[in-house]
Amino acid sequence: MAYTGREMAAGPADVFAVLLDPHTYPDWLVGTSEIRDVDAAWPRLGSRFHHVVGLGPFKVRDFTEVLALEENELLRLKVRARPFIWAVATFRIVGEADSCVVTLEEEPDVRIIGNVVRPVLDPTTHVRNHRSLKRLADVVTSRRR
């Protein structure tokens, strides 16, 4: 499991608003290049947004699905980028009106495969998620202005 966190100069509601807006993901989530579509039911449980992930010529069209949502506190997403990546990403937010801590925990969805690739992928995923949370903080700050 890759786990990282970041303090942000914004309240939980500000951060949660960005997390719930799929169109912001290419701005802050490293590797996301385009949002193709968002289900009309978004962000209800089971709803999805459809994206393109990857870099350069290595791009994949797939989706992300809401698994759990607790307003301003938790967002759990099932992330899919075929053929290899099935992961669960959990964002947790704790804080006050002008300051909060956002954590991101990401783990492979399929335990058997996850246990095999985890030692190789966790360090890379941690670095990517650390950069993503920094970029998320920048997006949240620019929206607050």
CATH number of 2-144: 3.30.530.20
Q: What is the pLDDT of residue 34?
A: 94
Per-residue pLDDT tens, the chain, 145 aa: give them. Answer: 788 999 999 999 999 999 999 999 999 999 899 999 999 999 999 999 999 988 788 888 889 999 999 999 999 999 986 666 688 999 999 999 899 999 999 988 765 455 555 566 677 787 889 999 999 999 999 998 7
* Cβ contact 62:56 at 8 Å: no
Whole-number Å distance between alpha carbons of 78 and 69: 12
Compute the C-alpha angle 35/122/100, nearest 5°: 65
Compute the C-alpha angle 114/123/142, nearest 5°: 110
- What are the sequence ranges of the domains in the chain? 2-144
* Cβ contact 77:25 at 8 Å: no
Q: How far is CA 134 from CA 31, 45, 141, in A?
A: 14, 27, 11
Q: What is the pLDDT of residue 5?
A: 96
Q: Is 53 exposed, middle or buried (0-12, 13-18, 19+ CB in 10 A)?
A: buried
Q: What is the pLDDT of residue 66?
A: 98
